[in-house]
Chains A and B, each alone.
Chain A
């Protein structure tokens, strides 16, 4: 009996302590510099940069928050996030999610509403939500709820090698360049630059391989011609003349790409561009630094590399959104520390530091409007701002649906079949539309 009483008192004491703790000012623990440890799950492609640079800088301001970043290969990242976030005791407090994943994670209750009353108490007074560009911020929004903040803002852009354009006597691209003009110029950009009688430079390299990001090229061409991926009822809207023509244009690019380009994706096209063997590349903008600035990774210089939106279709130029957003796990017991970390990374101060020191693309209008520390960033900022505007206007992003990954994989399969000539563009899109309709409903 005595023993039971002791336990009972102990439980009451704990309950009282918990109540008092809950009643304290929410920032108490952090304000008092209580050490807190948070865990972050991120794509292994950039988890090291976050751990070795961004966390180090963050800790200069918040030394009491210890941040451990775990990198996971991209193909397993979403499944692992789902598994962790839905477990009763998740390990990760911060999830860095890819552009199309917010609906899926939000639907299973994995993400915390960052504008909720609970989180408002943890939000700094000067954290300016309105300063974010609409397109990157919308990546982590689902059904009117804001689940994340843009951390690595990326847009599909057109990179071009000025030297190869000059050698071919082709004028440098501008945002007014159309797909028709580009395809007319492309044969001239396949050239023998050293006069040995062999072609050693090609017009283009980009995603052609069978993988989920390849359809983004086709989609961008389609979007710039007024086509849509999904209609207002959430049904496939791409199986029409515009979609077919866009896929044929994407396939046509292979005629002006290096041998073996059908197997090229992110790495291969990047490698070809950095080695100066292709005049243009449709690629994620964030690779600009490693493609034009860092001599350890590229043979090119910022003077040689131009960047702009993708060529224009009937309604305007193209771009495609690819934003990595930081979100707080809904079941995290360290939401304040997690949100503090994300706020700093996405704040004006944090974003400016990351842009100037790491070349990370900013999402804030104020950062884009400010004069960057590095000269090479100025034209990049101009192009990026245009890309954000273009993407927001044309809704140039992947399917927003809890089953978007399944739909994207179907698109990858069918676009891949069309690229390899195993199906016509019309057949591939017909199959994709039927399958996606089943998956999404």
Chain B
């Protein structure tokens, strides 16, 4: 009896030791990555937050004096901040759905078996790897009212000439076009991978049941793709919300601030105006707003996954 108890105790001790060793080895692998993440992600964020509540001294290039919410008050009192927020919302509301619809639509259309499909897919990568500044410059030439190809083509059918960068609405349209040109391929590639991974047997069963093209798309493909669409939307949202390079290269935020997205405004305030504290305050505001909206999108995405 005593032996049995001892054996049990020994086994329990040994289990605990094994568990502890297991935990230790797991953490031993995780700690370097965790420390690295803290250093490269958390530290800059906390430093930005510190600057946003401080007076930034250019002589030492550091935060020197706690000023509370003063920088935030300056930012919230600046009409340019609110204008930039509005511009960003307009850009996101049009660009994101357009890229998702186009991306999945094109992916669906090129999903059929045909020669050269892989070459076309590879070509789709090109806009993504073009540097934003180059893309901006390139599109400035293409959309130039005088010498641009787009206005030439429009002129052939009796339209235009359109002042793409001089009219506030057209400048925003130009920004959305350029961003869509750059990032729709990303959506296409993601959607193509998702389409290829769809279970064939479900489609075969539907065909046997006499389902037509539209029924298969509406009742099988789209519901199965919903989680992927939602995830792609979140990924693109996170990319789009920080966009500023294309606006910097193509429209300079103009005309008259019509395309001055919030990150371009933050960049200009920091690096042109050297107002690092106010810029940090804006960056923190955007960080919080982005985190809240991303959490909402992720929650929505989970609900959709559960539903389908």
Residue A419 CB within 8 A of the other chain = yes
Within the complex, which residue of B165, B254, B274 is in contact with A104, where a contact is CB–CB below 8 Å?
Answer: B274
Contact check, A406 vs B146: say whether CB atoms are below 8 A apart: no
Interface positions of A from 75 to 104, Cβ below 8 Å from B = 75-76, 78-79, 82-83, 86-87, 104
Q: Given A210-B257, A211-B252, check contact A262 B272 (CB 8 Å).
A: no
Q: Given A405-B272, A405-B274, A409-B273, check contact A262 B59 (CB 8 Å).
A: no
Residue B185 CB within 8 A of the other chain = no
Residue B164 CB within 8 A of the other chain = yes
Residue B269 CB within 8 A of the other chain = yes
Interface positions of A from 187 to 235, Cβ below 8 Å from B = 209-212
Chain B binding surface, main DSSP class? loop
Contact check, A260 vs B58: say whether CB atoms are below 8 A apart: no
Q: Which residues of A contact B255 (CB under 8 A)?
A: 209-210, 262-263, 416, 419-420, 422
- For residue B61, which residue of chain A has the nearest CB? A86
Q: Which residues of A contact B146 (CB under 8 A)?
A: 258-260, 277
Q: Which residues of A contact B271 (CB under 8 A)?
A: 75-76, 78-79
Separation of A408 and B254 alpha carbons in the complex (Å): 16
Interface positions of A from 241 to 277, Cβ below 8 Å from B = 258-263, 265, 277
Measured as residues with beta carbon below 8 angstroms from the partner, the interface class of chain A is: 35 or more
Residue B70 CB within 8 A of the other chain = no
Separation of A265 and B273 alpha carbons in the complex (Å): 19
Residue B227 CB within 8 A of the other chain = no
Residue B302 CB within 8 A of the other chain = no
**Chain B proximity of A264: nearest CB distance (Å):** 9
Q: Which residues of A contact B212 (CB under 8 A)?
A: none
Residue A171 CB within 8 A of the other chain = no
Separation of A439 and B145 alpha carbons in the complex (Å): 37
- For residue A259, which residue of chain B has the nearest CB? B145
> Interface readout for B28-60 with A: 1 if CB under 8 Å, 0 if not?
000000000000000000000000000000111
Contact check, A262 vs B257: say whether CB atoms are below 8 A apart: no
> Interface readout for B147-172 with A: 1 if CB under 8 Å, 0 if not?
00000000000000101111010010
- For residue A83, which residue of chain B has the nearest CB? B61
Interface size of B by CB at 8 A reads 34
Interface positions of A from 23 to 47, Cβ below 8 Å from B = none
**Chain B proximity of A351: nearest CB distance (Å):** 31
**Chain B proximity of A199: nearest CB distance (Å):** 10
Contacts between chains A and B (CB distance < 8 A), count? 105
Contact check, A86 vs B58: say whether CB atoms are below 8 A apart: yes
Within the complex, which residue of B80, B256, B268, B269 is in contact with A420, where a contact is CB–CB below 8 Å?
Answer: B256
Contact check, A260 vs B145: say whether CB atoms are below 8 A apart: yes
Separation of A129 and B178 alpha carbons in the complex (Å): 52
**Chain B proximity of A205: nearest CB distance (Å):** 11
Q: Which residues of A contact B263 (CB under 8 A)?
A: none
Contact check, A78 vs B274: say whether CB atoms are below 8 A apart: yes
Residue A177 CB within 8 A of the other chain = no
Residue B88 CB within 8 A of the other chain = no
Q: Which residues of A contact B274 (CB under 8 A)?
A: 78-79, 82, 104, 403, 405-406
Residue A109 CB within 8 A of the other chain = yes
Q: Which residues of B contact A419 (CB under 8 A)?
A: 255-256
Separation of A409 and B257 alpha carbons in the complex (Å): 12
Q: Which residues of A contact B256 (CB under 8 A)?
A: 210, 416-423
Contact check, B59 vs A422: say whether CB atoms are below 8 A apart: no
Contact check, A107 vs B59: say whether CB atoms are below 8 A apart: yes
Separation of A203 and B165 alpha carbons in the complex (Å): 20
Contact check, B269 vs A416: say whether CB atoms are below 8 A apart: no
Q: Which residues of A contact B79 (CB under 8 A)?
A: 431
Separation of A262 and B256 alpha carbons in the complex (Å): 9
Separation of A409 and B270 alpha carbons in the complex (Å): 11
- For residue B137, which residue of chain A has the nearest CB? A267
Residue B121 CB within 8 A of the other chain = no
**Chain A proximity of B84: nearest CB distance (Å):** 10
Most A Cβ at <10 Å: residue of B144, B165, B272: B272
- For residue A77, which residue of chain B has the nearest CB? B271
Contact check, B58 vs A108: say whether CB atoms are below 8 A apart: yes
Residue B275 CB within 8 A of the other chain = yes
Most B Cβ at <10 Å: residue of A83, A86, A210, A423: A210
Separation of A287 and B112 alpha carbons in the complex (Å): 55
Contact check, A260 vs B165: say whether CB atoms are below 8 A apart: yes
Contact check, B252 vs A406: say whether CB atoms are below 8 A apart: no
Q: Which residues of A contact B164 (CB under 8 A)?
A: 260
**Chain B proximity of A267: nearest CB distance (Å):** 9
Residue B251 CB within 8 A of the other chain = yes
Residue A413 CB within 8 A of the other chain = yes
Residue B103 CB within 8 A of the other chain = no
- For residue A258, which residue of chain B has the nearest CB? B146
Contact check, A260 vs B61: say whether CB atoms are below 8 A apart: no
**Chain A proximity of B79: nearest CB distance (Å):** 8
Interface positions of B from 256 to 287, Cβ below 8 Å from A = 256-258, 260, 268-275
Contact check, A210 vs B252: say whether CB atoms are below 8 A apart: yes
Q: Which residues of A contact B161 (CB under 8 A)?
A: 259
Separation of A82 and B270 alpha carbons in the complex (Å): 12
Q: Which residues of B contact A212 (CB under 8 A)?
A: 272
**Chain A proximity of B108: nearest CB distance (Å):** 37
> Interface readout for A283-313 with B: 1 if CB under 8 Å, 0 if not?
0000000000000000000000000000000
Separation of A418 and B256 alpha carbons in the complex (Å): 7
Q: A86-B60, A263-B252 are in contact. List 18 more A-B contacts (CB 8 A).
A: A82-B61, A86-B61, A210-B257, A210-B260, A258-B146, A259-B166, A260-B146, A260-B165, A260-B166, A261-B166, A403-B274, A406-B275, A408-B272, A413-B257, A417-B256, A417-B257, A420-B254, A420-B255
Closest 8 CB pairs of A and B: A420-B256, A263-B165, A260-B145, A210-B254, A262-B166, A420-B255, A406-B273, A108-B59
Q: List 23 A-B contacts (CB under 8 A).
A: A78-B274, A79-B270, A82-B58, A83-B61, A86-B58, A108-B58, A109-B59, A210-B252, A210-B256, A259-B166, A260-B163, A263-B252, A263-B255, A265-B252, A405-B273, A406-B273, A406-B274, A418-B256, A420-B254, A420-B255, A420-B256, A422-B256, A423-B256
Question: A residues near B, CB below 8 A?
Answer: 75-76, 78-79, 82-83, 86-87, 104, 107-109, 209-212, 258-263, 265, 277, 403, 405-406, 408-410, 413, 416-423, 431
